[in-house]
Amino acid sequence: MKVLVSDSISENGVEILKKAGLEVDVKTGLKPDELKAVIGDYHALIVRSATKATAEIIEAASNLKVIGRAGSGLDNVDKGAASKRGIVVMNTPGGNTITTAEHTIAMMFAVARKIPQANASMAEGKWEKKKFMGAELYNKVLGIIGLGNIGGEVARRAQGLEMQVIAYDPFLNEERARQMGIEKVEIPELIRRADFITLHTPLTNETRNLVRAETISTMKDGVYIINCARGGIINEKDLFDALESGKVAGAALDVFEKEPPENNPLVGHPKVVCTPHLGASTQEAQENVAIAVAEQIADYLVHGTIRNAVNFPSIPADQVSALQPYITLADQMGAFASQILGGEITGVSLEYKGEVSCLNISPLTIAALKGILSPILEETVNFVNAPFIARERGIEVKETRSSDAGDYHSMIAITIKSPKQELQVAGTLFSRKDPRVVKINDFSVEIAPEGYMLFMYNNDKPGVIGNIGSTLGRNGINIARMHFGREREGGMAISVVNIDSPVSDTVLDEIRKLPNILEVKVINL
């Protein structure tokens, strides 16, 4: 398989890819048209921040399986377009954590003590002590918006400086905040109380223009703002106005709405410290992210192991053996159920019961969606794009967990809804590795969901099984397994026959015309 490295990474990263048996081309500085012209030859693309993996580029990437970002930010990758094409998108979130946190602290010191401005003044031969009066960090309130890996490291360092740390993060619970010695607050309170505000969130619809005239107006007079996260979180015009008015005492910016910034009045402003997106620019960090992304790409292409994917749940190595049989079960059950139901699907409900409910169920839900969608859509459905396709088609997906699996140690129940009906299929693992469907609506069964199958609704009458077997035998079709279930004696029943080869339409018509056969469907797993 071929890997294109389109931005500069450490040579050690390139060597890891080559040692894994991958063919590697390093072509940096490609223009969009040049990248579009060659991307179809590659199975993997490794980028940093310079290459823009747009929807147009991804559309031309006919063989692409994975995009790896040597770093954490993915603003330059169209994740939606990649997901739709079934392309895994990975980043290396931990590789630049420490260096970005250190840069944030450095920027906070620099803007508080006006270090760059004083240095520039000295370089001009001046001695302007009174002009560069600064502010201490000691005992000041630091408000951190986004307490992920980087925000957490910033908090630790700020506590070492004896700052009072308050933080907002929607995923931070009170207990974890107490353990970290941090006061958890909502954004309005953080903005109102903080002397220094530092941003550590991704750029999303919710965080775009988070710092703007409206929010700045509720801040303390003389507040300092630091952004080493993403351009666009701060409305740059509103920040400029606040600096001019004196509402904001200073700003330290490593990122901008447009990079490199052009004619940006914040660059060169006497109250602003600027750096050219240097948060991850240390030798140690670049080595770390290059090695990390190379190992992740190699693991995926060679072994199929997914780590740090943003559009597919990563499975820790110690959970793979436990999850893989259930992934297979969910996939096969989904395909089995959708082929029985047929037609439009409006909703999918998944119930995880017993031991499986204690596992990471995200990969299982994705596997079930893949199985459900694959038989009914012309485009290729895989473990990456299945949730995207489900959302795109308005399919509502629900998950529930229960500790009670009845007579089984674990059970997965999938309910598929259409405008006219719904179907429930429940399954488990025999010997903890062999998938079995054990219930179809109210019918108790024991079906191995694999290969070619005939699924039939029939009346529970004598001769049905013999007629089916005879018809298949006359047409040279070997039966591998037969499974049956009924509501009650003489009532409605189902018959499922595993066969070694597909049946023709002619044979199918023969079976439909047999006595007491109500409906026949061909299933291919």
DSSP-assigned beta bridge partners for residue 443: 440
What value does the mean pLDDT take over residues 292-311? 88
DSSP-assigned beta bridge partners for residue 415: 349, 424
Q: What pLDDT is attached to residue 374?
A: 81
Instruction: Find out whether 216 and 242 touch, Cβ atoms under 8 Å.
Output: yes
Position 79 confidence tier, pLDDT thresholds 50, 70, 90: confident
Instruction: Find out whether 496 and 520 touch, Cβ atoms under 8 Å.
Output: no
108-134: per-residue pLDDT in tens? 999 999 999 999 999 999 999 999 999
C-alpha to C-alpha distances, 358 to 3, 383, 401, 412, nearest whole angstrom: 37, 21, 8, 12
Position 317 confidence tier, pLDDT thresholds 50, 70, 90: low
Domains of the chain, CATH where assigned: 2-94+284-303 (3.40.50.720), 97-274 (3.40.50.720), 317-524 (3.30.1330.90)
Degrees to nearest 5, angle at CA 188 with 182 and 193:
60
- Distance between CA atoms of residues 300 and 65, nearest Å: 9
3-state SS assignment for residue 172: coil
Q: Which of 259, 355, 450, 487 is catalytic?
A: 259
- Distance between CA atoms of residues 233 and 200, nearest Å: 10
Instruction: Find out whether 211 and 189 touch, Cβ atoms under 8 Å.
Output: no
pLDDT over 60 (residue 378): no
- Give the type of residue at 468: I
Phi and psi, residue 499, nearest 5°: -125, 160
Q: Is the peptide bond before 260 cis (omega within 30 degrees of 0)?
A: yes
Listed range (189-193, 345-349, 353-357, 393-397) with the worst mean pLDDT = 393-397
Cβ burial of 59 (10 Å; 0-12, 13-18, 19+) is middle
Neighbours of 320 (CB within 10 A): 13
Query: Could you say which DSSP state residue 71 is in?
Result: S
pTM: 0.61
Listed range (163-172, 420-429, 511-520) with the worst mean pLDDT = 163-172
Calculate helix-pair angle for 115-123, 97-113, nearest 10 degrees: 60
> Could you tell me the strand order of the sheet in which 443-447 lies?
396-402, 347-354, 410-417, 422-430, 434-440, 443-447
Q: Which of 103, 230, 436, 483 is catalytic?
A: 230
Q: Is residue 295 annotated as a catalytic residue, yes or no? A: no
Q: Is residue 128 annotated as a catalytic residue, yes or no? A: no
What value does the mean pLDDT take over residues 264-268? 96
195-230: per-residue pLDDT in tens? 999 999 888 777 889 999 999 999 999 999 999 999
147-186: per-residue pLDDT in tens? 888 999 999 999 999 999 999 987 677 888 888 999 999 9
Q: What pLDDT is attached to residue 303?
A: 86
Structure tokens at 107: 């920027």
Instruction: Find out whether 97 and 75 touch, Cβ atoms under 8 Å.
Output: no
Q: Is residue 200 annotated as a catalytic residue, yes or no? A: no
Q: Which of 113, 192, 277, 481 is catalytic?
A: 277
- Return mean pLDDT, the chain: 91
Q: What pLDDT is attached to residue 95?
A: 78
Query: What DSSP string runs through 347-409?
Result: EEEEEEEEGGGGS--HHHHHHHHHHHHTTT-SS---TTTHHHHHHHTT-EEEEEEES--TTSS
Helix (H) or strand (E) holding 38: helix 32-38
